[in-house]
Amino acid sequence: MTKFNKFIFALVFLFALFNSCKETPKNMTIEVSGKVTSTDVLYAKGFTIEKPASGITQITVRTPWPNAESAFTYALVPKNLAASLALNKEKYDAIVITPIERIVVTSTTHIPALEALGVLDHLLGFPNTAFVSSKKARERIEKGQIKELGNNETINTEMTISLNPDVLIGFGINNQNKAYQTLIRSKVPVVYNGDWTEETPLGKAEWIKFFAPFFGKEKEADSIFKKIESDYTATKLLATKATDTPTVLTGGLYKDVWYVAGGKSWMAQFLKDAQTAYLWKSTPEAGSISLSVESVLDMGQKAEFWLNPSMHTSYSEIASANRHYQQFDAYNNKNIFSNAIAKGSTGGLLFYELAPQRPDLVLKDLIHIFHPTLLPEHELYFFKPLD
């Protein structure tokens, strides 16, 4: 080979190497074979994490939304392997190079996980920032470090693309989000998170393990979750010392329909673990149940406690909202508590943001309400008595 040919060969090699580094990860191919190790996911039903011998991390999201017809599978490829691996793009719904440095998330439930893992400074954008309650996140929003991206279903795609995120963690009730499709076509990896579909308190909290591999924070996530699990289990055990099981009513009217928590729901599990007699505990629904006010009165008029009366935060609001509310014993005995009172500085509800990550605090609130002698020093965090 002549010197000139060697020079040309070197240029071609360097050009190919440069392009391989710049090329979208979707064009890689890798056979996931050999020994596979799995991250322990003990309570969450909606995702799995596996590490094939190839060195990648494979996350499978089974339930991105209720009744999803198929799972989503994502490959997380370490930067030091990205140039040498060839990945079969047909096997994955997104491929992400890790550890990531720039992220966009779309649900307030995602923010506590980032904060707990110490990676909130990597969050660049969020839709509907007014809903965010986290003080640290609000500081970054006020400084312009977390950009407002509009609404989740119509997220500002131009702004999102300009942020150049390494990944967008999506939230949806189906796969028809056109904005997400636009982002995918623009080479922004979109990864669905289905934490909201979990039906148990610890199942929701365990989704912190979903976020960890994107940042190389698996050990931290495992430690954080074990502490939450330990505290929840200890509090649940404490509740078994209760000498009574008070009856509980949930929900309230929206127009002419009263929505109560189903017997297989997240809230029903909390009420069971708090040693209460939830009036709809035997129903099969994992979400809410639509009822008439007459049927709720028939079942729950004598209930000792009432949780979450729609968005009402005072007894005067309830009295003026519907005359039937005043027929309930819990109203007359001033035993109504709401999770809509504790809010962030811009009105976001703290419960819907942080409670999925901190079920231990939720359970302590409930035990303090229903069995005050068991946790007399506990200060209510999410649930507050109506004014």
* Domain residue ranges of the chain, discontinuous segments joined by +: 20-227, 240-385
Q: What's the CA gap between 206 and 198, in Å, rounded?
A: 10
* Contacts (Cβ under 8 Å, ≥6 apart) of 380: 365, 368, 369
- Tell me if domain 20-227 and domain 240-385 are identical in fold: yes
Rounded CA-CA distance 86/32 in Å is 11
* Tokens representing residue 250 in the block: 């949930």
Find residue 306's DSSP bridge partners. Answer: 249, 336
* pLDDT in the model for residue 138: 98
Q: Please give the backbone phi and psi of residue 28, each rounded to the nearest 5 degrees, phi first.
A: -80, 160
The pTM assigned to this predicted structure is 0.89
Name the fold adopted by 20-227: Rossmann fold (3.40.50)
Amino acid symbol at 211: F
Token pair 């039903």 in the structure block, residue: 45
If residue 267 lies in a helix (H) or strand (E), which one and from where to where? helix 266-273
Q: How many CB atoms lie within 10 A of CB 384?
A: 16
Task: Given CATH 3.40.50.1980, say whether it is the number of domain 240-385.
Answer: yes
Beta bridge partners of 125: 104, 147
Q: Which of 146, 171, 176, 149 is nearest to 160 (CA)?
A: 149
DSSP 272-294: HHTT-EETTTT---SSEEEE-HH
Tokens representing 307 are: 């949780």
Beta bridge partners of 52: 36
What does the alpha-carbon distance between residue 203 and residue 359 come to, in Å, rounded to a whole number?
10
Tokens of 75: 């490959």
Q: Which long-range contacts (CB under 8 A, 24 or more apart) does 37-40 make?
A: 39/209, 39/218, 40/222
CB 46 within 8 A of CB 197: yes
Let me know if 69 is exposed, middle or buried by CB neighbors in 10 A (0-12, 13-18, 19+): exposed
DSSP lists the bridge partners of residue 72 as: 61
Contacts for 45-54: CB closer than 8 Å, 24+ residues apart: 45/198, 45/199, 45/203, 46/194, 46/195, 46/197, 46/198, 46/203, 46/207, 47/194, 47/207, 47/210, 49/209, 49/210, 49/213, 54/30, 54/81, 54/85
Residue 218 near residue 212 (C-beta atoms within 8 A): yes
Angstrom distance (rounded) from CA 355 to CA 364: 12
Residue spans of beta strands (DSSP E) within the chain: 36-38, 47-52, 57-61, 72-78, 94-98, 103-105, 123-126, 147-148, 167-170, 190-192, 247-250, 252-254, 257-261, 277-278, 288-291, 305-307, 336-338, 384-385
CB atoms < 10 A from the CB of 266, how many? 22
51 token code pair:
């590490």
CA distance 132 to 337: 22
Q: What is the pLDDT along the chain (387 residues), one digit of tens a residue?
A: 443 343 333 333 333 333 333 333 434 444 445 557 778 999 999 999 999 878 899 999 999 998 899 999 999 999 998 888 777 778 999 999 999 999 999 999 999 999 999 999 999 999 999 999 999 999 999 999 999 999 988 999 999 999 999 999 999 888 889 999 999 999 999 999 999 999 999 999 999 999 999 999 999 999 999 999 999 999 999 999 999 999 999 999 999 999 999 999 999 999 999 999 999 999 999 999 999 999 999 999 999 999 999 999 999 999 999 999 999 999 999 999 999 999 999 999 999 999 999 999 999 999 999 999 999 999 999 999 999
